[in-house]
Amino acid sequence: MSEIDPIAGLIDLENVPSMGELLGENVKHNFIENSIIKGRIVEKRDNGVLIDIGYKAEGFISSEDFKNWDKISPGDVVDVFLEEIENKNNMPGLSVSKASMHQAWDNFTAKYQEGATVKGFLKHRVKGGVIVEIDDVEAFLPGSQLDITVVKNMDDFVGKDFELKVLKINQERKNIVVSRRELLEADRAGRRATLLKDMKVGDRKQGLVKNITDFGAFIDLGGLDGLLHITDMSWKRISHPSEMLEIGQDIEAVILAIDLVKERVSLGLKQKTENPWDNIENKYPVASTVRGRVVNIMPYGAFLEISEGIEGLIHVSEMSWTKRITKAGDILAVGEEVDAVVLDIQKEKKKISLGLRQTTRNPWEILAEKYPSGSRIRGKVRNMTSYGAFIEIENDIDGMVHVSDMSWTRKINNPNEILKQGQEVDAVVLEIDPPQQRISLGIKQLENDPWSNIESLYKIGDLIKGNVSKITPFGAFVELSNKIDGLIHISQISDEHVKKVKDVLSIGQELEARVIKIDKDMRRIGLSVKAAKENFSEEQLKAAGEEVAAALGSKMIDVEDILDEESLAALDSVNTSGK
């Protein structure tokens, strides 16, 4: 009896189906790399499985390549991706995951085209965006396509499902780019068109503060952004929109304007309340006193808020009756509460002029009552100019003495000829003009005008004595009684020819002379030393007076009676050299 094979006795080897038969193939398998084929699991190990694809050698696939490793059993037939017919281990290179990926890719591209809307799960972040899973295919969602606005943290989107738009399918590289933003913008555009169509100026709309800038805030009206400008937020002054609004705040605003072409909407908050300027004249009549808070200070004045949305300007010129204010900040401070008087209202320009000094009585009016014309005052010389001196009366108010009101008899060219700064003097109030804030004073008015009764003081032919007070090229002035000066013309100094007055006379020299001419209108007295002789006749006096008058003409006024001989000589020298 021949030996019997124990296995052959149990299994009919001739009837065992081949791999080709199991896979439904009755012909020799044509193996093509990078294709999907079927394989049978013949052995399951801890780290993977052996798969028979009908080739001379079995292939090995790692357990990590299976999504459902726990459910894999020997004998299972699975789709595998043939990466290479023989790898370095002389085995076919196989992959279950790649087979699934290629099948999923083919299914995706057969089902969707560019522009299609799909639903995807955001798996995890990568550089520049998020990886999305769509029907077992991975796609890339750029960060810029996540939302309409800039996304600060993409992790907030990971782990969630979203509807997406397929932007690009690259068959060669097997990658897909999707966008959520385009769907949002399309939806927003639809809602924006509907909103624009339905809304009208004057409507009130609820919205969410979306963004805040220096010039205003953008309000999301539910698919359409409206601009709320800072000037339309409140009737009162605000420096920045953040003083009233914060991002995410829910507000109700009024539609002010609609631009259908540019799809823009202007909004307002203050328009929900009555314009405080509508009845401004009745609420704050001119001359009424108001109380307010200083809200802003500029060099030229201070802005006073007298009620919400109503501000008035106190100009620096209206802050003090007596002081010259150059900066409003020297008088007022932001936040300070003060009273003011309404001076003027310009409703159209939304301007109110206020006065701070008007809350007290005009001190110039008080002085006008206290010191009527003719009153005598005493004060200190505070300042001098070429045309006069300022004398303090009271309360920092000065009156001015013009040089023409300093002497009845002398022509004063500069106040320092008779006054000094800080000197206390008496003066007479000539006029007080409260509207112009001027007080005119006089010093000469303290005495009677000697020229008013000159006839009783001097007569032609009188012999007088006096001291030389000033020397000019054409003569010398002699100080007489009552502070009156007489002029001795150069022709009347001596019987002999006098070339220069200073050669004969000197300042302070006492001399005797005779009055030869009196001109009350011109306030002139002509003197003659030659006529002081006892035997000088009336005819000679008359002739001397006519001679002096003819020689002088108008020389007794203007420059000649101002300058002394040396000054005039210097002036003549300058004029001569300039010709």
What is the DSSP annotation of 128-190?
TEEEEEETTEEEEEEGGGS-SSPPS-GGGTTT-EEEEEEEEEETTTTEEEEESHHHHHHHHHH
CATH fold for domain 18-102? OB fold (Dihydrolipoamide Acetyltransferase, E2P) (2.40.50)
| Range 175-184 burial, b when 16+ CB lie within 10 A, else e | ebbbbbbbbb
Residue type, 466: G
How far apart CA 130 and CA 140 sit, in angstroms, is 6
For residues 393-399, give the mean pLDDT: 86
Residue type, 217: A
Which architecture, in CATH terms, is 280-357? Answer: Beta Barrel (2.40)
DSSP label at residue 16: P
Q: Tell me whether residue 165 is exposed, middle or buried, using C-beta atoms within 10 angstroms of its C-beta: 0 to 12, 13 to 18, 19 or more.
A: buried
3-state secondary structure 243-305: HCCCCCCEEEEEEEEEECCCCEEEEECHHHCCCCCCCHHHHCCCCCEEEEEEEEEECCEEEEE
Q: Which residue has the higher pLDDT, 454 or 14?
A: 454
Q: What is the pLDDT of residue 12?
A: 42
Q: Tell me whether residue 401 is exposed, middle or buried, using C-beta atoms within 10 angstroms of its C-beta: 0 to 12, 13 to 18, 19 or more.
A: buried
What is the band of 288 on the pLDDT scale with cuts at 50, 70, 90? very high
pLDDT of residue 565 exceeding 50, the answer is no
Of 17-31, 112-126, 300-314, the range with the lowest mean pLDDT is: 17-31
Q: Report long-range pairs for 412-418 (Cβ below 8 Å, ≥24 apart).
A: 413/562, 414/386, 415/384, 415/385, 415/388, 415/389, 416/384, 418/443
- Whether the CB-CB separation of 331 and 325 falls below 8 Å is answered with yes
What is the band of 573 on the pLDDT scale with cuts at 50, 70, 90? very low
Output the average pLDDT for the chain: 84
Return the CATH class of domain 199-272: mainly beta
- Whether the CB-CB separation of 523 and 483 falls below 8 Å is answered with no
Alpha helices of 464-561 — where are they, by DSSP H?
A: 538-552
What is the band of 521 on the pLDDT scale with cuts at 50, 70, 90? confident
Q: What is the pLDDT of residue 110?
A: 86
How far apart CA 536 and CA 215 sit, in angstroms, is 98
What is the band of 362 on the pLDDT scale with cuts at 50, 70, 90? confident
Q: What is the pLDDT of residue 571?
A: 38
Residue type, 50: L
Q: Which CATH number fits domain 112-184: 1.10.10.10, 2.40.50.140, 3.30.310.10, 2.60.40.1290?
A: 2.40.50.140
In this structure, is the dihedral angle defined by the CA atoms of residues 21, 24, 27 and 32, taken in order, positive or negative?
negative
Q: What token pair was written down for 254?
A: 């009024």
Secondary structure class of 371 (helix, strand, coil): coil
Is pTM, for the whole model, over 0.85?
Answer: no
Q: What does the angle CA 306 – CA 242 – CA 265 come to, to the nearest 5 degrees? A: 95
Q: What token pair was written down for 208?
A: 């969410």
End-to-end CA distance of the chain: 168
- Whether the CB-CB separation of 544 and 492 falls below 8 Å is answered with yes
pLDDT of residue 127 exceeding 80, the answer is yes
In CATH, the number for domain 363-446 is 2.40.50.140
How far apart CA 459 and CA 449 sit, in angstroms, is 17
Q: What token pair was written down for 250?
A: 């829910």
For residues 46-60, give the mean pLDDT: 89
What is the band of 141 on the pLDDT scale with cuts at 50, 70, 90? very high
Secondary structure class of 539 (helix, strand, coil): helix
Let me know if the fold of 18-102 is the same as that of 280-357: yes
Q: Given the structure tokens 């309404």, which residue do they identify?
A: 342
Q: Which residue has the higher pLDDT, 439 or 24?
A: 439
Q: Give the pairing of strands 397-402 and 438-442.
A: parallel
What is the band of 232 on the pLDDT scale with cuts at 50, 70, 90? very high
Who's near 62: CB < 8 A, 6+ residues apart? 47, 48
How far apart CA 536 and CA 533 sit, in angstroms, is 6
Q: For the chain, which residues make up each domain, given as ranges?
A: 18-102, 112-184, 199-272, 280-357, 363-446, 459-568
Q: What is the pLDDT of residues 492-516, one digit of tens each?
A: 888 888 899 998 899 999 999 989 8
In this structure, is the dihedral angle defined by the CA atoms of residues 100, 106, 110 and 116, taken in order, positive or negative?
positive
Residue 191: its H or E element: helix 181-198
Q: What is the pLDDT of residue 284?
A: 92
For the chain, give the percent of residues with pLDDT over 70. Answer: 90
DSSP label at residue 109: H
For the chain, how big is the Rg over CA atoms in Å?
Answer: 57
Which architecture, in CATH terms, is 459-568? Answer: Beta Barrel (2.40)
Who's near 446: CB < 8 A, 6+ residues apart? 376, 426, 427, 428
Who's near 494: CB < 8 A, 6+ residues apart? 504, 529, 530
Phi and psi angles of residue 211, each rounded to the nearest 5 degrees, phi first: -155, 150
How far apart CA 231 and CA 21 sit, in angstroms, is 85
- How far, in Å, are 364, 518, 528 from residue 456 at the CA level? 41, 12, 20
Q: What token pair was written down for 218?
A: 């953008």
Q: Give the pairing of strands 397-402 and 388-394.
A: antiparallel
In this structure, is the dihedral angle defined by the CA atoms of residues 502, 468, 477 and 425, taken in order, positive or negative?
positive
How far apart CA 279 and CA 283 sit, in angstroms, is 6
Q: What is the pLDDT of residue 384?
A: 93
How far apart CA 157 and CA 126 sit, in angstroms, is 13
Q: What is the pLDDT of residues 433-486, one digit of tens each?
A: 988 889 999 998 898 888 888 888 888 888 889 999 889 998 999 988 878 888
- Whether the CB-CB separation of 518 and 486 falls below 8 Å is answered with no
Q: What is the pLDDT of residues 327-348, one digit of tens each?
A: 999 999 999 999 999 999 998 8
How far apart CA 94 and CA 514 sit, in angstroms, is 150
What is the band of 245 on the pLDDT scale with cuts at 50, 70, 90? very high
Q: Which residue has the higher pLDDT, 194 or 88?
A: 88
For residues 255-284, give the mean pLDDT: 88
Q: What is the pLDDT of residue 287?
A: 93
pLDDT of residue 555 exceeding 80, the answer is no
Of 66, 85, 68, 77, the residue nearest 40 (C-alpha): 77
pLDDT of residue 4 exceeding 60, the answer is no
For the chain, give the percent of residues with pLDDT over 90. Answer: 38
